[in-house]
Structure 1
Amino acid sequence: MKARFIALITGAVMGSSVLSAQSNDCATMAALAYDDAKAKNYEAAYEPLMKVREECPKYSLATFQYGERALEYKIENAEGEEKNQYIEELIGLWEERLELFPGKTSKGKVYSDIAQLRFDNKLGTVEDRYNAFDKAYTEDRENFKSPKGLYAYFQLMVDMQDEGERELQDVFDNYDKVMQKIEEEENDAAEKLAPLLKKQEDGEDLTAKEKKQISNAEINLNNYNSVKNALNAKLGARADCDNLIPLYKKDFDAKKSDVDWLQNANARLSAKDCTEDPLFFQVSEALHQLEPSANSAYSLGQLAEADGDRTKALEYYNEAAELEEDPNDQARIYYRIASNYKERGSFSQARNFYRKAISSKPSLGNAYLQIANMIAQSANDCGENSFDKRAVYWLAADYAARAARVDPSISSNANETATAYRGRAPQKSDVFQQGRSSGEAIQIGCWIGETVRIPQM
């Protein structure tokens, strides 16, 4: 019995020693491999890294991080079949990292990176490449954020439709979900940007981290704006009324009791302003009778507005805004309501609805720009003296500048507008002559009711 106990103790000690030795071996191998990788000597680092990955896969996440860089180097410097082998090896490395380190790895990013690699190197059929992106979207939509990947996801659908492998409706469906994802990312970036811009506009000092956050948010907004433009260009004539009306007209009688179909047709016809054809009224009326919704109410508002009944149109638009759950579509409705009030000269009401639009969609730069224009138009009516009246233009310029920062698609026009308004505001000599100073607050009256500070000059 004693001999058996001693054997068990001896075995445990020896087992512990073996594990310790294995751990030391992994640490030694990894240290040597990591040193070469840190020095960016990926040619030398490649084989040691792959050995660590094979023999000690769970040793450290760094093995996969450095291994990715080494394989990207190999891919860049290889051709033909050898290059394809390294590509497949990199895909395997990403998948293995996801399996071994799931808590430190984004599934959506891994799948989109794999899809992008196959797309860039034309591996597999068009459908294979599309399915790779679709996997990223369906399995981890939240983390499928790559602007380049989102565009490729849509482009591949268009390519399949061009080859007769998909219907036009499939293209529209894919466009809608990709565009919705992009707008969500834009709103997230703009929402993070807004308090930092306010802090900057108020003359407060920004930390290095905050400056970096502003830079990153603006880069993201520019990238997503470029993708939106590319998506619309790719969709092209497929989405014009000449294609949409025949597409939906041929199915209307069979689908006029199908709420999902009516919602889709209504949204697409409304978005493209295909509202003059009788089909639009048929679709809108049928949808509102079956299931009153934001889309059907909005469409009936469009029809009332076209008939010149602006009061009835606003009733429908407000109903649509209350029913709408999607923030981007809600912003579109609020913006239209605001524009109606603006055209009537009801600037205070218009601003209220432009602000509601911004609240729903923080990246809606045009709403900021419209507020800027209304403020500028009211300069002569909203100040007690000449200096204060001209000071209104500083506030208008601030709104226009904000429009440029949150929405790159209008940045050129918005920045030009901001510059023009600053040119109408008091200049340095005016501030001096009035005995005013930078940072001094000026309360603006009438419908505006805001405070603007004299900028640093």
Structure 2
Amino acid sequence: MKAIIFILSVLFITNSSAQKFDCTSKTSEYQELFKANKIAESYDVWYSVFKNCPKESEVIYTDGIQILQYKIDNAPSAEEKEKLVREVLKLYDQYNKNYPLSTPDFEVNKAMVLVTNKIEAKEEIFNLLESGFAKASKNVTDANTIYTYFSIYCERFNSGDKKITANAVLEKYTLVSSLINQLQASKPESKEYKTAQRAIGNLIKDVATCENLEAFYTKGYADNQENTDWITSALISLSGKCSTKPIFNTLAEKLYSIKVTAQSANFMALGNMKQRKFPEAIKFYTESAELQTNPTEKAKIYYTLATGLLANDLPKSKECLNKALAADPKMGKAYLFLSQLYANSANDCGKTDFEKKAVNYLAIQTAQKAGITEPRLKSASDKAAKNLESKSLTADEISKAKMNGKSLNIGCWINETITFPAK
């Protein structure tokens, strides 16, 4: 009987103690300190909430990570710093235990805590990243994290790790390249993914020879014919110096047949251009530009067409340059190229000496727009205008022709009207 009374007493005391700890008010208390930037002072209260109310809210964990990181940044010694880093890792484990749906990539986050805080634990970092990416690669959105994972993988390969073959590196490259490509598609305005993609490509350049890539993607194609992410990643890898390989065209045609997009049309354009099928390349580049929803990328495609495949078709080149400027009004280089086209056609489009000089007058005005719309091009803009001055109309010539305040239409393919100043 005494034993039962004792147990009940203990339970009562424990329960009373639990009831006395007010999770809500204590959470508010540490958060007020935290928001007031009194981060060090908030630690003790936060820790008591973490210990007593582990399932109160996810915010306890997200705040805790920041509070502990503050303490890490201000740790008095390397030993204290690593001890605190280990506390963050435990916090991530507890976070995942209580909120698994919110933390599928917790192992990746743990690895990056070690990396960010420069803790020497290469094997541990690698194992965490390997496990984390295997379980939740789709949840990783940080470009630097993806690059870090691949760079560590390549480092192990280069150091002679027998478990990692050249094909394994290419497989991993396909994975991370696919992730970056998907993230870039979702945030086309972001520059971090493009930077990461280039950096990842540099890491693998010695392994990713055209011969290795061709063999790897040819072999993997049979198992990935409907996997658009895999195909897209392969095409990105092959673009450029390896786009002449037959597998590039096979993959481009397959991706285009599955879904017509700005990207798949662009791959088709590149493939046809490499085969010197220029009319087809123009058709697909035009389609890619029309389908492109990112104004900057749309402008780039039109500019590439205007200055490349259509450079000798003056009316179409101008049309593409105007479309590029409509998409991106700040593309100064489009004005510079258009100015050069005008200047080169002065003798062909001007019937009289005055008209020929008027074409160069228009070319100068066009060149000057480059420096206005894109200030970094002002030097190039001024130079282009200066080079045309001797071939252009002077104020006296305009006055003698009684054209002050009047307009002159330049026909030919240019089809522009010049309005001269009143004085």
Q: Give the TM-score, by structure 1 length.
A: 0.56
Larger radius of gyration: 2
Whole-angstrom CA distance in 1 between matches of 2:31 and 2:266: 62
* Corresponding letter in the other structure for 1:340: L
The equivalent residue for 2:350 is none
Alpha-carbon spacing, 1:336–1:106, altered in 2? closer, same or farther (3 Å): farther
* Corresponding letter in the other structure for 2:85: I
* Corresponding letter in the other structure for 1:150: I
Q: What is the aligned counterpart of 1:376 among 333, 339, 342? A: 339
Q: What is the aligned counterpart of 1:396 among 370, 378, 386? A: 370
Alpha-carbon spacing, 1:418–1:241, altered in 2? closer, same or farther (3 Å): farther
The equivalent residue for 1:188 is 189
Quote the offset at 1:344 in angstroms.
3.6
CA contact (8 A) 2:282 2:305 kept: yes
The equivalent residue for 2:51 is 54
CA distances 1:42-74 after superposition (whole Å, capped 9, x unpaired): 2x5433321133235577887656533441244
Number of aligned residue pairs:
355
CA contact (8 A) 1:300 1:313 kept: yes
Alpha-carbon spacing, 1:444–1:235, altered in 2? closer, same or farther (3 Å): farther
Identity %: 16
Whether 1:271 and 2:236 are equivalent positions in the alignment is no
CA contact (8 A) 2:302 2:321 kept: no
Alpha-carbon spacing, 1:449–1:27, altered in 2? closer, same or farther (3 Å): farther
Whole-angstrom CA distance in 2 between matches of 1:30 and 1:127: 38
Quote the offset at 1:234 in angstroms.
1.5
Q: Which has the higher helix share?
A: 1
CA contact (8 A) 2:336 2:370 kept: yes
The range that moved more, 238-247 or 157-166, is 157-166
Whether 1:27 and 2:25 are equivalent positions in the alignment is yes
CA distances 1:207-259 after superposition (whole Å, capped 9, x unpaired): xxxxxxxxxxxxxx4x555434422321222223243234456x39x949956
Quote the offset at 1:136 in angstroms.
5.5
SS of the equivalent of 1:152 reads helix
Alpha-carbon spacing, 1:369–1:342, altered in 2? closer, same or farther (3 Å): farther
Whole-angstrom CA distance in 1 between matches of 2:257 and 2:126: 40
Whether 1:153 and 2:152 are equivalent positions in the alignment is no
Q: What is the aligned counterpart of 2:112 among 112, 116, 119? A: 116
CA contact (8 A) 2:46 2:60 kept: yes
Quote the offset at 1:149 in angstroms.
1.8
The equivalent residue for 2:210 is 241
Q: What is the aligned counterpart of 2:318 among 337, 343, 348? A: 348
Alpha-carbon spacing, 1:354–1:93, altered in 2? closer, same or farther (3 Å): same
Quote the offset at 1:260 in angstroms.
5.3
Alpha-carbon spacing, 1:131–1:169, altered in 2? closer, same or farther (3 Å): same
The equivalent residue for 1:232 is 201
Alignment of 1:152-231 (within 5 A): 152-159=148-155, 161-162=157-158, 163=161, 164-165=163-164, 167-181=168-182, 183-184=184-185, 187-189=188-190, 221=191, 223-224=192-193, 226-231=195-200
CA contact (8 A) 1:394 1:421 kept: yes
Whole-angstrom CA distance in 1 between matches of 2:34 and 2:280: 72
Whether 1:310 and 2:291 are equivalent positions in the alignment is no
SS of the equivalent of 1:187 reads coil
Whole-angstrom CA distance in 2 between matches of 1:59 and 1:290: 48
The equivalent residue for 1:216 is none
Quote the offset at 1:75 in angstroms.
3.1
Quote the offset at 1:117 in angstroms.
0.8
Quote the offset at 1:421 in angstroms.
1.1
Whole-angstrom CA distance in 2 between matches of 1:315 and 1:64: 54
CA contact (8 A) 2:85 2:113 kept: yes
Whole-angstrom CA distance in 1 between matches of 2:241 and 2:408: 39
CA contact (8 A) 1:266 1:296 kept: no
Q: Give the TM-score, by structure 2 length.
A: 0.59
Whole-angstrom CA distance in 2 between matches of 1:128 and 1:318: 45
Alignment of 1:253-292 (within 5 A): 255=222, 258=225, 263=231, 267=235, 270-276=238-244, 280-281=245-246, 284=249, 288=253, 292=257
CA contact (8 A) 2:214 2:247 kept: no
Whole-angstrom CA distance in 1 between matches of 2:250 and 2:185: 30
Whole-angstrom CA distance in 1 between matches of 2:94 and 2:128: 21
Whole-angstrom CA distance in 2 between matches of 1:180 and 1:110: 23
CA distances 1:409-449 after superposition (whole Å, capped 9, x unpaired): xxxxxx3x3432156669xxxxxx9xxxxxxxxx9997698
Quote the offset at 1:397 in angstroms.
2.4
Whether 1:419 and 2:379 are equivalent positions in the alignment is yes
CA contact (8 A) 2:105 2:133 kept: no
* Corresponding letter in the other structure for 1:274: C
The equivalent residue for 2:352 is none
Whole-angstrom CA distance in 2 between matches of 1:257 and 1:21: 60
The equivalent residue for 1:127 is 127
Alpha-carbon spacing, 1:386–1:47, altered in 2? closer, same or farther (3 Å): same
CA distances 1:65-105 after superposition (whole Å, capped 9, x unpaired): 65334412443427677655432432444566688899xx9
Which runs of 5 or more structure 1 residues have no equivalent in the other structure?
1-16, 190-220, 402-414, 427-432, 434-442, 452-457
Whole-angstrom CA distance in 1 between matches of 2:223 and 2:93: 46
Which runs of 5 or more structure 2 residues have no equivalent in the other structure?
1-15, 347-354, 387-394, 396-406, 419-423
